[in-house]
Every structure is written in C-alpha cells, then in structure tokens.
Chains A and B, each alone.
Chain A
Amino acid sequence: MKVIVDLDLCQGHSVCAGECPEVFAVEEHADGYSKVKLLLEHPPEGLRAQVQAAAKYCPNRVIRVED
C-alpha cells in the first residue's frame, strides 16, 4: 500500500492524524496553513482500514491510497 498526499489542497484539518496517527501528523508549514506530514509512505497492511478512513474523511480529499 502506498499513500500519496497533495499538499496544494491541504489546510491542516487533522482528521487524518485523528484517524491514523501512525501514518499522518500535521505540522506548521512555510506556506500559511498547517499541513499533513506523511510519517510512513508505505504503511503496514495492518493499518489499511485506518489509512482508508483518513483518506475518506479528509475534508479536502488530500490523501490517495494506491496498492
């Protein structure tokens, strides 16, 4: 599983960090809004459900999950 984030779209809502803190953190960013920081680009299979929930509930559709 591979996680891709589109930083252009991120406003730092932090839903992802709430759903799956192992993979997503949100931190201050030079360009205004806080933004997501990907902690694991290839998370272990055991986190699939949480990662998918993060992608699904992201208000700005920042996160994409590929196999």
Chain B
Amino acid sequence: MTPTTVQRKPIPQVSGAKPGGGHLEEYQANQPKFMMRCRQECGDLAEYRLMDQPYVLMSGPDAQEAFCRAPDEVLGQAAAYTAMVPVFGKGVLFDTPLDVLKQQLRIQVDAVRYQNMKEYATVIANEVRDFTSQWADSGTLEMVDEFLRLTLYTSTSCLLGVDFRRRMSAEFSRLYRDLEHAVIAIAFIDPYLPLPEFAARDRARARLGEMLEEIVNQRRASDQEYHDALNTFMTGTYDDGRPLSPHEITGLLIATMFAGHHTSSGAATWTLVELLRHPECLRTVRDELQEVFKDGGAVSQHAMRAMPKLESFIREVLRLHPPLVTLIRVVEQDFEYKDHVIPKGYRVVMSPAVAHLIADVFPEPWRFDMNRPEPEHLFAWIAFGGGRHKCAGNAFAILQLKAIFATLLRRFDFELVDPPESYTEDHTGMTVKPKAPMQVRYRARPVTVPNT
C-alpha cells in the first residue's frame, strides 16, 4: 500500500480547549468525568490537550486492544514514569534502555510466578489473622486506614519475607511513607526541584538501600531457604548471567510495593463496602466460604481457587472501582489505528474508568451485579490493564483479596456506619482512592466449629 492510497481520517477533537492550558482545568477537576465526556463526544478516539501536550484517549474494546498489543518500540512507557525514577532509583526499570528494562521486568514478574504464589496465600492469611487479633470483640473501624496498614504488612511479608516483616521497624514504615509523599503532581513535571518532599524522598531511598543491602548480605551468608520476592530478585540474572546489584534489588522491591499497595488496599476497602451495600451478595459469598471451608481446611492457594463467587464479586468491584483511572504511553513511532494515524510525540491513554462504563459492553453499567457475564472481548474489562504490560501482579492481587475476605468474613460480621451512598471515591489526588473516613462496625462471630 502506498501512502497516497490511504485515506487518513482526522482524530476527533474534544471541545472546550482553552488557550494555554487546553483541557487541563476540566481534567484536574474530575478526571473520570472528563474522560467519559471525551468518549461520549468523540467515540473510540478522542484528542485533548493538557498544556502543550496532545493526548488521545483510546476507548472501546478494539481500541483498547490496539493500545495493549502495541510493541514497546511504538508505545513507550518510560516518559510517563519520570516522577518515579528517584523513588525506584537511578538505573532501575524506566530509567534504563529498553533492553535492560525488559530484563528487569522479567525478573520482577518471576516474583509472582506460580511457585511463589503457593507460599503467599498462607503468608497473607496469617497476616490477616494476626492483624485482626488486635481488634476487640466489637467496635468501629476506619477501613481506608486499616486496609492500608494491613496491605503494607502483607506486601512486606510477601516481598521481604516473614522474618523481616516481624522485625519491621517504625523506621521502615516512615521511610516508605516518605517515598509515597514525594509522588505529587509537580513530580511529574520535575522530580528534582529543591522541595522538602523530594529531599526527604532522597534520604529515604538512600536509607532503604542501606537497610536492604544489609538483609541481602545476611541472606547471602546464611543457608536458609526463602520463597519471597527478595529471594527471586537476589537469584535473578540478566541475559548475560550477571545478578542484580543491591541497588537494583532495592529498586525492584520498592517498585513492586508501589504497584501493589494502594491499589490492593483500595480494592479491599471497596470490596467490603460493596459487600455491605449488597446483603444478598454477602450471603452468596458467605455460603461459598462455608462450603469451601466446611472441613476446616487452610486458606491455601488451592482453596482460594475454588471460590468463583467471591472472584466474580471482586471482579465486579474492580469494574466499578478500578484503582487506576488512566494508563499512559508515549507514541514513539506514528501509531496506526483503523483509518487514523496518531503522530509520534503524542501520548495515548487507556482508561479503565471509561472502559468499564460502556453500555454496549456492560448493560446498565452503573448497576452492581456480581452475576454479570464476563465480556467475550478480552480487552473489555481492563482493571489490570492488558496485553504485554498487563499488571503482572493480577493473580497475586485477586489471591490476596480472596485470602483477606476468606479470613475476615469468617471471623467477623460487619455493617456500614453511614448511609451506603455516602461512601465515595476521592479524585483529588494523583490516584483515585476511597474517600476517608469509611467507618464500619464489626463484631466477632461465634467461633465456628467444622462440621457443625
């Protein structure tokens, strides 16, 4: 095909761009709402502008598939992650050439391979049990914060090992928080400005590096066996056989923790709230738990598998409350989609928040329905993204949520303190999260005896 025979169609433009900022103001006011307007007005491709940067929202299963399948050479991730470079560390992940990035991602994925996952189910269930043993017989809890703490413990246990988690100091939590607090809007423009948040971040990253290097050295000197992510990163090698440096190991651990922590804790919070909003679903899920654990079996990977009802429920929670509103790529080479070309230098965006509310794919999209059939199109439900860079922790995340609720729901009864509709999302930060406070009342259930 010669270029002259191809009839290129222009990309539909979203109305309301203002001189200078473009759509920035509307985008910042409410990102999901703006994204929905883009699709409603323009369809599968919608071009908008933030300051000088043109973006194209790709929505609808086919456009989402094209986004997900595009090779790294065409749609790159790196430029969207500049704010994370000083958090993960120089020379880690998106601060490396593409071929090194691919090798580091390979080693990172190994941490959530089948072999490790078996260990994780038990580790998570133990953490949940220990965590809730601090609760009284009944009381009121603010769940946004509770789940943030719980998932920090579970991820630390799975990543750094149970022995580290037991010794986990207040210092470690504080350093991790200092890293989180540096991921602010301005960091996506220049993460090296002389700001106190960034100075604290750099001190925290350096100190975490020291702490982890110490653990790495201790482990290298001992002959104990480990089945956590740290072990995977310590034994992983580049294609030429070279191991990761302690600095790179620290970077991968931080990156893995960042990927999984807020996303999982937000999902756990919404799972609980939606269960309490839908008592008939809660009954269905509890019946399934009773069946699975009727002989008193352990919360194992195998048991977690046999819970299709809880899994459908979680998938519906993630449909209505996807942890990320947008995924962004940089167009590195002109990118063709149907009769359109998205030029090099543009950014393209995929939005789970938009994708999951398309009525052709999900009829009555706002209705919570745990029995909703799974869409036939593989790229219609994209809570974990999709394609080559699909969240590698997707199975871990589902396993973790199942393990948390298999334990919580058997030990406690819960009820919402406030009116059900008052529990909402907070869109004001860099990521979407459940809006604190989210109060629930809990009461310990009578101890269940197997087979009675």
Nearest CB to that of A34 among chain B residues? B106
Chain B residues with a Cβ closer than 8 Å to the other chain, count: 22
Chain A residues within an 8 Å CB radius of B387: 8-9
A31-B113 contact, Cβ under 8 Å, with A9-B387, A59-B394? no
* Cβ contacts A10-23/B at 8 Å (1 or 0 each): 01111101100000
CB of B114 within 8 A of CB of A14, answer yes
Pairs across A and B, CB under 8 Å, 14 listed? A8-B387, A9-B387, A11-B109, A11-B390, A12-B110, A13-B113, A14-B114, A14-B115, A17-B114, A18-B114, A28-B239, A32-B102, A33-B109, A34-B110
Q: Is A48 an interface residue (CB 8 A)?
A: no
Complex Cα spacing A57 to B386, Å: 16
Among A8, A13, A33, A61, the residue within 8 A (CB) of B114 is A13
Complex Cα spacing A18 to B395, Å: 15
Chain A residues with a Cβ closer than 8 Å to the other chain, count: 18
A13-B106 contact, Cβ under 8 Å, with A59-B394, A59-B395? no
Chain B residues within an 8 Å CB radius of A57: 305
A13-B378 contact, Cβ under 8 Å, with A32-B102, A32-B103? no
Complex Cα spacing A18 to B117, Å: 12
Chain A residues within an 8 Å CB radius of B101: 32
Complex Cα spacing A34 to B305, Å: 24
Complex Cα spacing A12 to B232, Å: 14
Nearest CB to that of A61 among chain B residues? B378
Chain A residues within an 8 Å CB radius of B340: none
CB of A8 within 8 A of CB of B388, answer yes
Which B residues, 99 to 151, have Cβ-Cβ distances below 8 Å to chain A?
A: 101-103, 105-106, 109-110, 112-115
Nearest CB to that of B101 among chain A residues? A32
Q: Is B159 an interface residue (CB 8 A)?
A: no
- Excluding A12-B110, A13-B112, A14-B115, 20 further A-B contacts by CB distance (< 8 Å) are A8-B69, A9-B386, A9-B390, A11-B388, A11-B392, A13-B109, A13-B114, A13-B392, A14-B114, A15-B395, A18-B115, A28-B239, A32-B103, A33-B105, A33-B109, A33-B388, A34-B106, A34-B109, A57-B305, A60-B390
CB of B113 within 8 A of CB of A14, answer yes
* Cβ contacts A24-35/B at 8 Å (1 or 0 each): 000010011110
- A-B pair number, CB within 8 angstroms: 51
Q: How far is the CB of A10 from chain B (nearest CB, A)?
A: 9
Nearest CB to that of A12 among chain B residues? B109
Chain B residues within an 8 Å CB radius of A59: 394-395
Chain A residues within an 8 Å CB radius of B106: 12, 28, 32-34
Count chain B CB atoms within 10 A of each CB in A8, A17, A32 and give the residue with the most: A32
Q: How far is the CB of B72 from chain A (nearest CB, A)?
A: 8
Nearest CB to that of B104 among chain A residues? A32
Complex Cα spacing A28 to B241, Å: 12
Chain A residues within an 8 Å CB radius of B395: 13, 15, 59
Nearest 9 CB-CB pairs, A to B? A32-B102, A59-B395, A14-B114, A18-B114, A14-B113, A15-B114, A11-B109, A33-B106, A59-B394
Complex Cα spacing A23 to B84, Å: 40
Nearest CB to that of B392 among chain A residues? A11
Which B residues, 217 to 271, have Cβ-Cβ distances below 8 Å to chain A?
A: 239
Chain A residues within an 8 Å CB radius of B388: 8-9, 11, 33
CB of A33 within 8 A of CB of B102, answer yes
Complex Cα spacing A34 to B74, Å: 21
Which B residues, 320 to 375, have Cβ-Cβ distances below 8 Å to chain A?
A: none
Q: How far is the CB of B327 from chain A (nearest CB, A)?
A: 16
Q: How far is the CB of B405 from chain A (nearest CB, A)?
A: 19
Complex Cα spacing A32 to B108, Å: 11
CB of B305 within 8 A of CB of A12, answer no
Chain B residues within an 8 Å CB radius of A14: 113-115
Which A residues, 37 to 64, have Cβ-Cβ distances below 8 Å to chain B?
A: 57, 59-61
Chain A residues within an 8 Å CB radius of B103: 32
